[in-house]
Structure 1
């Protein structure tokens, strides 16, 4: 009886199995064929190329190139590739699992049913790395690449393909082509950019140089030296480590993110504050030192001029011309830090300028700032040092240039920008006679000759120039036994300024000896008799 029961159960199970096999194979065949076919179709996503970034004259600053690659998958039969790939390509494919193809190989590879991937390689001119930035995992992560990522980024496309069970592509069914990103046209003059970069490379000192169209705010050149020559997509870990640990910090954009003591280049701001508070500027007898005394007449500290023998009788214009520290010690202490800070805030001198790449906010100190950050009281000595751009002031080269552009335009400040369509302005209402006085002093910096106690600090550099430049040198002490930062900031031609220029050499020494001669080269390029076209 037991055997009959077992046999019956076996027959029943077999009958059920047979029934479902017949049902699937015959009655439901179309339904399951549709399901199986759906498993063999794949949607492949493709992306359009990133847009090209151009300079103002159509020179490519950053662009994308597309290369075909074969990437290893389980369905690839190595033996079938030997008649298509070269020996070197085969070795590379076996070693790394992928290989770059030549155009003539694409058809043969596709005929085997293998899917070809296209890789986008982003290329840059090394002189503009700090402007255009770079990508991280296909997204802009710095510079214009980041600021305009949504515009530059290519749009996705898709392709529906029918595959064999082994994964080979059997047929392409539907394709929606990807769209390339939009191109970006900038205000950069690459010829100027390349010229400045090559000149800095010869000197080989970390530096920052910016050239701006004074009237429009267009940035014509923005050079941070050093940069890197390696292409980002091709940097190996060892080289990347060297770049990161390089004491010259080649990835730092010194023009908009480096913070530096401005030294004497800040003196026009102190002079404007003084003229706003004093209708009749005083004259000081500069003996080469300034004695800070208590109310009882006791000398508490002595502050030296850069010229220890002194400049003699000095008014405001001469003080700007010869960069007389003693004069600015006096007027800074007379005004006090609160008045100076209020005028600095009028110019937003330490604020971000609004340029369309990353920038750092600067520091222009106040009583509250020192109490909050330094946890201590503001002293008169702090005010005295602020008067010559030392102490706690830290600005970016762009912030300082922005201030001088405002002077050039008698209070009108175009927002600096790199993409040419952006034009905005702010306006300061300061009496015209104040602008004229400041400009007179800045013009004499480059045009007034004579002995060392009387001549302009940049006279030697500009004395034979076929144009007139207004500007200011700066020599900012940094301590720790290091050489001073070297500055020159100016604009020209004087009668109708077209260009504003800032030059900074980190630990370059005297502004008169280092930055001013370099600025002369730039103005010669822009305005000289044999200027480049």
Structure 2
């Protein structure tokens, strides 16, 4: 009896276990059916997403060349550090470890990650060196979510020679991104951490230089490393930009002018092409290609001489005696010129009780207009200015582009055209006879940028044609196909019914080639150079500074120096302007420099290299 009960109890247990097993199998089968049949496609997609990554691919940026095909902006390989926030176990710990390895403040990384997508790789460091790469690889296990990848970075060989022209790239900021958001086409091309042109050609020709952007599907391993490309993206590089500047000339000018602050510009007077343009002090645009080192930024940003400022376009100066070229043309055009055009200079000129000086204390004696230009007599032009009056002077100054932008850049300044109206706007005061006296020698309410003076010089050289200066010669595709070719743009002609401009050209020829010319140090044995010297008072001296020597005066009180020139005389190939800030040197000091620059360029065109 007892044995039978034990047997029945055991059988019941077996049946219960069998029943439970069957129930489990039924549940498992239903679950398997649900996962494989009902959810199969969705889970397959999730599985693929775990090993297949969509990566954004950037095509190379277009290159920039000088007129002889020399590379000014190129691309080179760069090793970069990225982080994907979602893949980090402890973000703070990972960033702390990376900070220790790279010796970069953790706050730099934290700032980079603000408002960023957790699922996308975020650029932390660009262009790391081999030493840093080795350290990151060594400590890989302490850096979950951190990956290394290669990219192209912008480089400017000898960049300091042409920094203000080419500009540089910088990581796109929120302000620029907000502007782009209004343009759906552009929005597809740019993201946070992308680089965009910030100055010069890099900015103005961004849409031509930037390569195509696309998506590439790749298979990755558990560490996020690329194993193979599943769906490739065909890269299309940006277009190449060819400039009118001559790198050899650019280097030569930079080396000759290295001790001064200011600007030197050379134009082709027959079409407006920029042959060379420097602003000094300059800077190295390569400092902006990755993480900007604080000491480098301080060196350019906190420098009182403002190396980031493009003086050629954005600084205005009194033209000083080079304005006498315009005064000569205006005087020749005045109806009273034939009645009275010879004046005596004894070194001073009185207007009421006020005394105005000539730069030559003993005076120049009696002279006509040609000698007055060649010897730069101030008293002659005080008297000529009084005969003409400000309205006549202003009319002819406007013809030469004074007070007007040249059209070279949107960012250039326009300077001041001396006139009654301009004084009323700027100073809310009427015009006085003393203002006309001041204007007559290029002082007072009279200011020009170096690019305006270069345009003025070109118009005298070519007989009255004012071209818009330009620097982009052509744009070509990566395969060499021409997309764009710049044609000379004639803005206007100087009204010269009686050929007075040819007389002004002769006066400038005499300035350099005459025995008493102030620019005679620019005289060349190779061809005829014409030019004009100028010294411009930078600021009204306080009484305590008037009799002090130049070295003792504050920099801002020292005079500027000008020299303009063109050559050869009959068929000009180059128009040159030199502006040296606060040197307290006469314009004639820069005549030998002008001669050397002009000879270097013209002989170089003939294949004759001058390396002195």
Matching of residue 372 in structure 1 with residue 437 in structure 2:
no
1:161 alignment counterpart = 218
2:58 alignment counterpart = 47
- Residue 515 (structure 1) shift: 2.0
Q: What per-residue deviation string (whole Å, max 9, x for no partner) do you get for residues 88-128 of structure 1?
A: 9x9559999765579x99xx99xxx9965333321122101
Please list, as runs of the form range in 1=range in 2, the aligned pairs for 1:429-508 lying within 5 A after superposition. 429-449=495-515, 455-459=516-520, 461-463=521-523, 465-479=525-539, 480=541, 481=553, 482-508=557-583
* Residue from 476, 479, 489 that aligns with 1:424: 489
| Kept after mapping to 1: 8 A contact 2:442/2:536 | yes
- Residue 27 (structure 1) shift: 3.4
* SS of the residue 1:231 aligns to: helix
**Counterparts of 2:364 and 2:583, CA distance in 1:** 25
Instruction: Please report the TM-score for the alignment, with normalisation by the length of structure 2.
Output: 0.73
Matching of residue 66 in structure 1 with residue 77 in structure 2:
yes
**Counterparts of 2:222 and 2:571, CA distance in 1:** 75
Please list, as runs of the form range in 1=range in 2, the aligned pairs for 1:405-420 lying within 5 A after superposition. 405-420=458-473
Q: What per-residue deviation string (whole Å, max 9, x for no partner) do you get for residues 186-213 of structure 1?
A: 1111111111111222xx2202111111
Cα distance change of structure 1 residues 511 and 170 upon mapping to structure 2, 3 Å threshold: same
Q: What per-residue deviation string (whole Å, max 9, x for no partner) do you get for residues 122-154 of structure 1?
A: 112210101111122211111111111111111
**Counterparts of 1:38 and 1:390, CA distance in 2:** 75
Cα distance change of structure 1 residues 94 and 48 upon mapping to structure 2, 3 Å threshold: same
| Kept after mapping to 2: 8 A contact 1:225/1:250 | yes
Matching of residue 387 in structure 1 with residue 440 in structure 2:
yes
2:260 alignment counterpart = 205
**Counterparts of 2:562 and 2:346, CA distance in 1:** 25
| Kept after mapping to 1: 8 A contact 2:435/2:444 | yes
Which of 1 and 2 has greater Rg? 2
- Residue 456 (structure 1) shift: 0.8
1:511 alignment counterpart = 586
Return 242-251 or 155-164, whichever deviates more.
155-164
- Residue 395 (structure 1) shift: 0.7
2:188 alignment counterpart = none
- Residue 283 (structure 1) shift: 1.1
2:154 alignment counterpart = 122
**Counterparts of 1:169 and 1:265, CA distance in 2:** 65
* Residue from 254, 259, 267 that aligns with 2:316: 259
Return 21-30 or 371-380, whichever deviates more.
21-30
**Counterparts of 1:516 and 1:205, CA distance in 2:** 15
Cα distance change of structure 1 residues 407 and 270 upon mapping to structure 2, 3 Å threshold: same
**Counterparts of 2:428 and 2:594, CA distance in 1:** 40
1:355 alignment counterpart = 408
Matching of residue 290 in structure 1 with residue 349 in structure 2:
yes
**Counterparts of 2:227 and 2:252, CA distance in 1:** 55
- Residue 502 (structure 1) shift: 0.5
**Counterparts of 1:363 and 1:219, CA distance in 2:** 23
**Counterparts of 2:427 and 2:104, CA distance in 1:** 61
- Residue 365 (structure 1) shift: 2.6
Instruction: Please report the TM-score for the alignment, with normalisation by the length of structure 1.
Output: 0.84
**Counterparts of 1:438 and 1:349, CA distance in 2:** 17
| Kept after mapping to 1: 8 A contact 2:63/2:71 | yes
- Residue 431 (structure 1) shift: 2.5
Cα distance change of structure 1 residues 94 and 219 upon mapping to structure 2, 3 Å threshold: closer
- Residue 20 (structure 1) shift: 7.9
Q: What per-residue deviation string (whole Å, max 9, x for no partner) do you get for residues 226-274 of structure 1?
A: 1124622253122212211212211111122221111000111112122
1:10 alignment counterpart = none
- Residue 171 (structure 1) shift: 4.8
* SS of the residue 1:277 aligns to: coil
Cα distance change of structure 1 residues 72 and 503 upon mapping to structure 2, 3 Å threshold: same
Matching of residue 175 in structure 1 with residue 228 in structure 2:
no
Cα distance change of structure 1 residues 336 and 17 upon mapping to structure 2, 3 Å threshold: farther
Cα distance change of structure 1 residues 56 and 170 upon mapping to structure 2, 3 Å threshold: closer
- Residue 433 (structure 1) shift: 2.8
**Counterparts of 2:104 and 2:312, CA distance in 1:** 46
| Kept after mapping to 2: 8 A contact 1:70/1:100 | no
Matching of residue 33 in structure 1 with residue 43 in structure 2:
yes
Cα distance change of structure 1 residues 30 and 344 upon mapping to structure 2, 3 Å threshold: same
- Residue 37 (structure 1) shift: 3.9
Aligned residues: 491
* SS of the residue 1:355 aligns to: coil
| Kept after mapping to 1: 8 A contact 2:573/2:602 | no
